[in-house]
A and B are shown apart, each in its own frame.
Chain A
Amino acid sequence: MIVAVCGKGGVGKTTIAAIAAKEFSQKEGIKALIVDADPAGGLCMALGITPEKTINDVREEIIREVKAGLRDERDLAVSIDYLLSTAIHEYKNLAILSIGRPEDEGCYCKVNVILKDAIEGLAGNFDLAIIDAEAGIEQVNRKVLSPIDYMLLITDMSVKGLRVAETIFTVGKRMTAMRGAGLVFNRASNPIDSFLTNIQSSIQVLGVIPEDETVKRFDEEGRSFLDIPPCPAQKVISSILKRIGLV
């Protein structure tokens, strides 16, 4: 199952993906692929990882190979698998990939197609994959997220955040293979945010994550979310993952 975490800028996508990664790392017998699709590499940072290589670096290496004479399609496919595995950062049962700068449109589209196939093939070897998407609608529109099964839409406690989530949901239904989606409210103030009592949404609501001091502290201190202790936000995220059948 491939899940994309989407939403407006700054609503907490990366934080939620990072805490989800931590949850997966504690599940024995599963292998999870964690994809940082934000060119700024926010998820890797949140996990305390400096990727040595991004998918974009791999793409450049392959293009170099092609320029040096690599033509045979099968050689190209095995070379891509090889180079892709050099871009994987491993932590316990997690394999972490960083997308890096997005592909240049147009040239070497064949490389991009094979690379995309390779990534999908790679994802197929894992029990689950989670993608921390770029803010907004861009990646959904560019079909970067086309193979996803499920969309986890995050919003903060604002009408704007909710609107963006709904737009992404609508476009996602058309541009991806998703079979389900769920809405998550983040940074709710205690006890229950009055915002929630007035809203309506066509997307199924999965949960409400509170504003969390531990999350704030980990973020401020630049610590890895792989080390986050049990805390209110983590508990809600854990129950959401259970609810959608991820753990």
Chain B
Amino acid sequence: MNPQDSRQGNVRAIFEARLVENVRDRRVAKLGVFDDVLNQIFAIKEELKRYPDFRVSKSGPELFWEEESTLILEEETAVELGDPRAGSLMTLLWGDPSLIEDGTIALAGPDLSECTQRKIPFGLVILAGAQFPDEYEFFRNLKDAFYAVKLKGFMARMLPSRNTIWCRVSKDAILQGFTLFHLGNAVIDSIKKVPGVSAAQVIMVTSTKEQVEKLKTVAEGAKRIVDAMVKMYSELNFDCESCDYRDVCETVNELKRIRDRLRKKVGDRQEDRR
């Protein structure tokens, strides 16, 4: 057995142990790139549920809010969500539809009209349940769908490289009844239009910076997986020895599958050319 094989054997053992764990958890039915991440998110959600200000709502037409791209200046702002100093997180993940609690919008912490401070922490986790042939294209569609969410009296700015979202909600919007559940509903509506998506759920946190940071740590792990995937698709360089993301690919089995598939595709193309 050469060292390569032994390492793979090792990874397989770790992976299989985790699979047993997952099955025990009975959440993970199929394998996806974010299964581990999703498990961690669900665990945090269970923790959040213990707080009295945790609420869940179902998406539906009664939560519809008018679409409009608005610029909101400070003087019109009632609440600012996710100022970097207050704590900010945004992440977009996907998994098998059976893992997603379709249509649920969860909020831990005060809603907009209940905020006692003007600047509050904000964590926004968006989970899509989907089946699709191409992860990369799917991911891009999913992002587009999220970026397309524009609501009257709500302005969002995002920095994907830092998993950060910064939003302003106008005084008028709050007077007219805008809540974070309207935002959650719009996000779910938008991403459910993406081909392949059959379930979507949103988890929001406005309680404390610590809780947002906790989710952020998990999201950062997810981001490395995404970056590894994007790199595979955009560079088509499969020299694993020199790749910065080797550690990620070796722990996330699904990434290996993607890599092998892409490698084969490139190989086939080279064959064709000959």
Contact = CB atoms under 8 A, between A and B. Distances in A.
Interface of A: 31, 65, 68-72, 74-75, 78-79, 81-83, 85, 90, 92-93, 95, 122, 125-126
Contact of A85 (B147, B157, B234): B157
Contacts of A92: 75
Interface of B: 69-71, 73-75, 140, 143-144, 147, 157-161, 164, 166, 227, 230-231, 234
Contacts of B230: 71-72
B143 A75 contact: yes
Contact of A31 (B69, B71, B234): B71
A74 B157 contact: no
A70 B75 CA distance: 33
A79 B73 contact: no
A93 B227 contact: no
A75 B144 CA distance: 9
A79 B140 contact: no
A65 B160 CA distance: 10
Nearest to A94: B73
Contacts of A126: 71
Contacts of A72: 140, 143, 160, 230
A79 B71 contact: no
B74 A74 contact: no
B74 A90 contact: yes
Contacts of A82: 157-159, 164, 166
Across the A-B interface, give the 6 residue pairs with the lowest CB-CB distance, nearest first: A125-B71, A82-B157, A82-B159, A90-B74, A75-B160, A78-B158
Nearest to B166: A82
A125 B168 CA distance: 15
A122 to B, nearest CB: 8
Contacts of A81: 157-158
8 contacts: A31-B71, A68-B161, A70-B161, A74-B140, A74-B144, A83-B159, A90-B75, A125-B71
A191 B122 CA distance: 61
Nearest to A122: B71
Contacts of A70: 160-161
A69 B143 contact: no
A93 B70 CA distance: 14
A159 B73 CA distance: 43
